[in-house]
Amino acid sequence: MNQDDFTIFEHNGWEQVASAYIPRFGGVTTQSNGALLDALDVRAGTRFLDVATGPGYVAGLAAQRGAKAVGLDFAQAMIDEATAAFPDVEFQRGSADALPFADASFDAVGISFGLLHFADPDKALAEGFRVLKSGGRLAFTVWSPPDRAIGFGMVLKAVETYGRLDVPLPPGPPFSRFSDGGECKRSLRAVGFVEPLVVEVSQTLHTRAPETAFHMMLHGGVRVGALLKAQTPQALASIEKSVLEDCAPYRNGDEISLPLPCVLASATKP
């Protein structure tokens, strides 16, 4: 497993927040799982690999469709969560940039919100290409840009206003790189895929005040969570207050519904 500083940072983070991720992010990210599997035409008998499986949601849904699903993640804590939730699905630990599978092993490869957590996302895409059979498809989801993924936009704007964005974190790929559909297509073509397709999938974060996207990212994420935890206590309190105030247009009583759409990119191996 590639142990560069960013990979170590991400790995240690996910080992620590695996159980917190489920109630914070699970209700959002699962909203696009069906669209991801549809883009891959996952059905009964499909040999499907779920890279960065996390709690196993995509692999579990694929198995419900009758696919022969395998889920892979580099965090043992996530593998444990996935195995407990979907005991009939095969899960194993491994790295996205060195998949432990032979060439042409799968009909479809999915990466749900994992690409932005890889030190070398292009290598991960190339590995997905390698393990696909000819005619197989790869698809991934990432967050839409902050101006459309309103929850992320609120938090980042508040950090910029009341805190610091230049905190000492291990350097990694740009967080919003694949939020650009053109960049998705370029990256997929660069490793050999053809006929790339990019669409946006609607998702909504539902919280109950005073809980907001701030708490979701502080407790359930790694990179943005570390950014928030690096702020001073005074700045963090101001950021929390600002995000709650910015939720006003999206509130109905204490219920908050924030748009958090994602980009869904897919392509075919010739």
Q: What is the pTM of this model?
A: 0.94
Which pLDDT tens digit goes with each residue over 51-74?
999 999 999 999 999 999 999 999
User: 238 in a domain, yes or no?
Assistant: no
Flag whether 95 is in a domain: yes
Whether 32 is in a domain gets the answer yes
| Residue 245 forms part of a structural domain | no
- The reply to whether 224 falls in a domain is no
Cβ neighbours for 68, distance < 8 A, ≥ 6 positions apart: 45, 46, 47, 48
Instruction: Tally the domains of the chain.
Output: 1
Residue-range definition of the domain harbouring residue 18? 5-145+170-204+260-268
Q: For the segment 141-185, what is each residue's pLDDT rounded down to a tens digit?
A: 999 999 999 999 999 999 999 999 989 899 889 989 999 999 999
Q: Is residue 239 one of the residues assigned to a domain? A: no
**CATH label of the domain that carries residue 200:** 3.40.50.150
Q: Which residues, listed in sequence order, are joined to residue 69 by a DSSP beta bridge?
A: 48
Residue 216 lies in a domain: no
Domain assignment present for 218: no
What letter represents residue 178's amino acid?
Answer: F
pLDDT per residue as tens digits for the range 197-215: 999 999 999 999 999 999 9
